[in-house]
Structure 1
Amino acid sequence: MTDLTILIAVIALALWPIVFLISRILHERNKRAKPSGDTVSAETEEVTEEMTTSALIMSILQQLGCQPEVNEENHISFKYQGDDFLVAAEDGLRLIIVWNPWWASISIDNQALPYLKEIINAVNMNSLVTTVYALDEDEKTFGIHSKCHMLFAPEEEEPEKSFTDLLDSFFTTHNTIKENLKQLGNGMPDMEKKERVRIKGFAAYKDNSTELKGE
């Protein structure tokens, strides 16, 4: 990884306690400020409030028909629009991390690689979704992964819409990176996805990645 990628990771970890504190303050403030004549059913809201973060996410994903599972690392895994996603959620907290692992890969010998790195770094500056690239030394490829921290506050709006909007933002990031690469003269043909192989960690999704190729 480059120094910039490492710096982004360090900053994200450093900001975690601050974001958590803000989320708790906002959560308590919204509870106190909510008017008695709220149109949302009090009974439904109470049930939502009592659900754990993981249970709420599982419920939303089941409504979306995503067939979520809990893996060995206690992360929620599922497919959305053909892509693999992982959600790391701590019960009692409203802050979650959503990963979109191995949505693409590129050979270390590909001449487009230096341009792709620059594009990813530039897109990260203006996107809520952060994209990283990590070297797979065995396969001699760079895996492309994206992630996003989300303040999950279902009492403020429809939780299903909020969550699907977040997932859709990953594909917006994909398209932005691909379009920028195309503008530099590097084509990105659609590839057939290989058969899924389940093993521990991000490597479980490596065979599902789409290879990026320069012309």
Structure 2
Amino acid sequence: MTHISEITLLIAVIALALWPVVLFALRFLRERQKRLEYIERMTKDEQDEVTTKDLVISVLKKIGCQPKVNEENHITFKYQGDDFYIAAEEENRFIMIWNPWWGSINADNEALPYLREIINLANVNSLVTTVYMVDEDEKTIGLHSRCHTFFSPREGELEEHMKMLLDYFFDMHNVIKDNMNQLGQAAINEEEKKERVKVKGFSAYKENTMPIETKKEEEKKE
């Protein structure tokens, strides 16, 4: 048998071996789509039998998002341009919503202690809480917001509930930004020029973030 024939035979064997897997994957995707479409037509009593993850996916689609399930079994999507992911707890109908890497600041930035204090104060009375974590390079501190909440069909209109929760993340962003702007305004007359504070939106999301500038920095540009 020639070398080419051996390669051809090997390809044929691999194709035959993979074909059942391909068929299974196609069938799985088709059944999943049918299940999600069915969820949209179900009553709330019927939805109680649906998994939390499938319920979340269906609701996200209804509010215009394009959810996907990643390798960690988390539901990933974008909302108003920001990255989000949701971890669903099937046994008790709770979900954890994360808005990762929406902001960051250099670890040696002199404004860091003030930013930490702002975040801690903002967390006191907020449904959404923000945490800060040191990146792998130990030079950047990332800002990540999260919300742990009950998510059940019996809680009312799920679409409006989801939008309210997601919008609340941006309210938290604005609280932190506004306080940082006030900090910048108070420092305008200081002689020392401080390093620009960046708040730009886990590592896979880091590159998609936007910087926040204080009023002091905006006036410097003008």
TM-score by length of 1: 0.70
Deviation of the 1:136 alpha carbon? 1.3
Sort the Cα spacing of 1:110 and 1:60 in 2 relative to 1 into closer, same or farther, 3 A.
same
Equivalent pair of 1:106/1:211 in contact (CA under 8 Å): no
- Number of residue pairs matched by the alignment: 165
Structure 1: which 4+ aligned runs deviate by more than 4 Å? 186-191
3-state SS of 1:185 partner: helix
Amino acid at match of 2:204: A
Deviation of the 1:141 alpha carbon? 1.0
1:1-215 equivalent positions in 2, closer than 5 A:
44-138=43-137, 140-185=139-184, 202-212=202-212, 215=217
Match of 2:14 in 1: none
Equivalent pair of 1:133/1:145 in contact (CA under 8 Å): yes
Equivalent pair of 1:133/1:143 in contact (CA under 8 Å): yes
Equivalent pair of 1:133/1:142 in contact (CA under 8 Å): yes
Q: Whose helix fraction is larger, Structure 1's or Structure 2's?
A: 2
Equivalent pair of 1:112/1:213 in contact (CA under 8 Å): no
Amino acid at match of 1:206: K
Match of 1:32 in 2: none
Deviation of the 1:189 alpha carbon? 8.2
Larger mean CA deviation between 106-115 and 125-134 belongs to 106-115
Give me the whole-angstrom Cα distance separating, in 2, the residues matched to 1:83 and 1:212. Answer: 14
Amino acid at match of 1:182: N
Give me the whole-angstrom Cα distance separating, in 2, the residues matched to 1:87 and 1:184. Answer: 33
Identity, in percent, stands at: 57
Give me the whole-angstrom Cα distance separating, in 2, the residues matched to 1:210 and 1:139. Answer: 20
Q: CA RMSD in A?
A: 2.4
Equivalent pair of 1:69/1:78 in contact (CA under 8 Å): yes
Sort the Cα spacing of 1:109 and 1:189 in 2 relative to 1 into closer, same or farther, 3 A.
closer
Deviation of the 1:56 alpha carbon? 0.5
Amino acid at match of 2:208: N
Which runs of 5 or more structure 2 residues have no equivalent in the other structure?
1-41, 186-195, 218-222
Sort the Cα spacing of 1:120 and 1:138 in 2 relative to 1 into closer, same or farther, 3 A.
same
Equivalent pair of 1:105/1:212 in contact (CA under 8 Å): no
Match of 2:24 in 1: none
TM-score by length of 2: 0.68
Amino acid at match of 1:204: A
Equivalent pair of 2:103/2:209 in contact (CA under 8 Å): yes
Give me the whole-angstrom Cα distance separating, in 2, the residues matched to 1:66 and 1:89. Answer: 17
3-state SS of 2:153 partner: coil
Give me the whole-angstrom Cα distance separating, in 2, the residues matched to 1:171 and 1:96. Answer: 19
Give me the whole-angstrom Cα distance separating, in 1, the residues matched to 2:209 and 2:66. Answer: 20
Give me the whole-angstrom Cα distance separating, in 2, the residues matched to 1:61 and 1:165. Answer: 12
Which runs of 5 or more structure 1 residues have no equivalent in the other structure?
1-42, 194-201
Give me the whole-angstrom Cα distance separating, in 2, the residues matched to 1:211 and 1:109. Answer: 17
Give me the whole-angstrom Cα distance separating, in 2, the residues matched to 1:114 and 1:213. Answer: 17
Give me the whole-angstrom Cα distance separating, in 1, the residues matched to 2:140 and 2:199. Answer: 18
Larger mean CA deviation between 177-186 and 72-81 belongs to 177-186
Per-residue deviation, residues 85-135 of structure 1 (Å, max 9, x unmatched): 110102232111111000011112322211111100110111111101111
Deviation of the 1:51 alpha carbon? 1.3
